[in-house]
């Protein structure tokens, strides 16, 4: 399928359920766009992150993969954290980075489950050991599972979603902050859902709202004293492996059709926001949210 087809209003990916969460990118048909833009061109780097050392969680697939690729194109070396079962997707990401950068960037893969407290510090320590610096902390990993009624939402799922989506962010920030210096950036991947209140994702929506509040408070604590900026990206419906792995058939068949642009977004359309927020271009932004959501107004 051509790039232009996936960017046309009315386009919806075919129903293709996956039996594991958060899903595998190599099983998607078509695969999401990492660098191909809506006008048919490819992302044009400008050295915005030259020489930087970045940490990207969930960088094996979806939005995280595109973030990792664009950061590498902009000149950053990086650590990519991924679940052990996502090894193929992670290796595919590294292969794409080497292809697009002609092998000029260094990438470290860390197969770690970030719901485990020890693994959060282990991940940051491994990054520092490999690169000696941490300029951008990009926390993108997350999970969800649609449950229509709160009466059917188990305690186990509630705790797992919070452990993945917000508790791990707290521990990763605590481990990373001592290694970061003035000019450093943190960018978190939240969601449109806390601004609209998704009825089938009560737990997920709650964690993403907590993430926005966490970032705002953290920014107010460190941006003046330490000069480290903290911002959040809040995507709308984006075509990633999480969608076929967690959404019902009815939801998938209408995925992205309700936003003004009448199509799902592509990972590259979100990853560009991360590049902006990690670069000096956004030097006067901290504690803010960006909304790549297909035109929905959230005022």
CA distance 14 to 281: 38
SS3 225: coil
Q: How many CB atoms lie within 10 A of CB 67?
A: 33
Residue 232 lies in a domain: yes
pLDDT above 60: residue 269: yes
For residue 4, how far is the Cα from the chain centroid? 24
pLDDT above 80: residue 1: no
* Contact of 173 with 137, CB cutoff 8 Å: yes
- CA dihedral defined by 117, 179, 72, 23, rounded to 10 degrees? 10
DSSP H/E element including 56: strand 53-57
Residue 19 lies in a domain: no
**For the segment 88-125, what is each residue's pLDDT rounded down to a tens digit?**
999 999 999 999 999 999 999 999 999 999 999 999 99
pLDDT above 80: residue 266: yes
Residue 24 lies in a domain: no
Mean pLDDT over 207-225 rounds to 98
Q: 207 falls in which pLDDT band (50, 70, 90)?
A: very high
pLDDT in the model for residue 241? 84
For residue 269, how far is the Cα from the chain centroid? 12
pLDDT above 60: residue 2: no
At 246, phi and psi to the nearest 5? Answer: -130, -10
CA distance 46 to 181: 23
Residue 227 lies in a domain: yes
Here the CATH number for the domain that contains residue 151 is 3.40.50.720
Greater pLDDT, 175 or 255: 175
Mean pLDDT over 162-169 rounds to 98
Among candidate residues 7, 204, 284, 297, the one labeled active-site is: 204
Strands 229-233 and 77-82: unpaired
CA distance 244 to 259: 19
Greater pLDDT, 168 or 297: 168
Q: How many CB atoms lie within 10 A of CB 249?
A: 9
Q: Closest by alpha carbon to 114, among 66, 69, 173?
A: 173
Q: Closest by alpha carbon to 56, among 130, 127, 105, 113?
A: 127
pLDDT in the model for residue 39? 93
Residue 213 lies in a domain: yes
- Which residue range forms the structural domain that includes residue 149? 46-290
At 190, phi and psi to the nearest 5? Answer: -100, -125
What is the overall mean pLDDT for the chain? Answer: 94
Lowest mean pLDDT among 9-23, 204-218, 221-235: 9-23
* Contact of 278 with 75, CB cutoff 8 Å: no
| Residue 204 annotated to the active site | yes
Q: 3 falls in which pLDDT band (50, 70, 90)?
A: low
**For the segment 7-49, what is each residue's pLDDT rounded down to a tens digit?**
999 898 888 888 778 888 888 888 899 999 999 999 999 999 9
CA torsion sign for 83, 234, 36, 68 is: negative
Mean pLDDT over 186-199 rounds to 96
Q: Which residues of 157-175 are buried (b: 16+ CB within 10 A; e: fewer)?
A: bbebbbbbbbbbbebbbeb
**β-pair partners for 91:** none
pLDDT in the model for residue 250? 81
Residue 296 lies in a domain: no
Q: Closest by alpha carbon to 142, among 114, 173, 175, 108?
A: 114
Greater pLDDT, 228 or 241: 228
Q: Closest by alpha carbon to 57, among 33, 100, 86?
A: 86
Greater pLDDT, 115 or 299: 115
Domain tally for the chain? 1
Residue 108 lies in a domain: yes
* Share above pLDDT 90 across residues of the chain, in percent, rounded to a whole number: 83
Q: 267 falls in which pLDDT band (50, 70, 90)?
A: very high
CA distance 278 to 60: 19
- Which pTM was predicted? 0.95
Residue 299 lies in a domain: no
Q: Closest by alpha carbon to 55, among 187, 210, 178, 208?
A: 187
Integer Rg of the chain from CA: 18
Q: What is the largest CA-CA distance in the chain?
A: 52
pLDDT above 70: residue 288: yes
Mean pLDDT over 172-194 rounds to 98
């Amino acid at each position: 399928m051509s790039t232009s087809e996936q960017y046309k209003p009315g386009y919806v990916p075919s129903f293709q359920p996956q039996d594991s969460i958060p899903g595998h990118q190599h099983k998607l048909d078509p695969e999401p766009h990492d660098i191909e833009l809506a006008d048919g061109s490819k992302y044009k780097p400008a050295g915005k992150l030259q020489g930087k050392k970045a940490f990207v969680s969930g960088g094996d697939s979806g939005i995280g993969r595109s973030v990792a690729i664009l950061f590498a194109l902009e000149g950053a070396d990086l650590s990519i954290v991924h679940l052990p079962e996502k090894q193929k997707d992670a290796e595919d990401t590294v292969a794409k980075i080497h292809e697009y950068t002609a092998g000029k960037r260094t990438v470290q893969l860390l197969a770690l489950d970030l719901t485990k407290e020890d693994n959060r510090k282990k991940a940051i320590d491994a990054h520092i050991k490999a690169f000696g610096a941490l300029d951008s902390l990009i926390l993108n990993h997350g999970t969800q599972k649609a449950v229509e009624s709160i009466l059917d939402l188990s305690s186990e799922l509630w705790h797992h979603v919070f452990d993945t989506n917000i508790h791990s962010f707290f521990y990763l920030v605590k481990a990373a902050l001592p290694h970061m210096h003035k000019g450093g950036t943190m960018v978190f991947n939240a969601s449109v859902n806390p601004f609209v209140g998704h009825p089938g994702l009560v737990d997920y929506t709650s964690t993403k709202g907590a993430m926005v509040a966490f970032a705002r408070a953290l920014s107010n604590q460190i941006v003046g004293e330490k000069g480290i900026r903290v911002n959040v990206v809040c995507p709308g419906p984006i075509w990633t492996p999480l969608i076929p792995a967690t959404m019902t058939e009815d939801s998938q068949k209408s995925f992205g059709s309700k936003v003004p642009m009448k199509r799902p977004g592509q990972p590259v359309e979100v990853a560009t926001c991360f590049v902006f927020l990690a670069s000096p271009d956004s030097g006067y932004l901290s504690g803010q949210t960006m909304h790549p959501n297909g035109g929905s107004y959230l005022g």
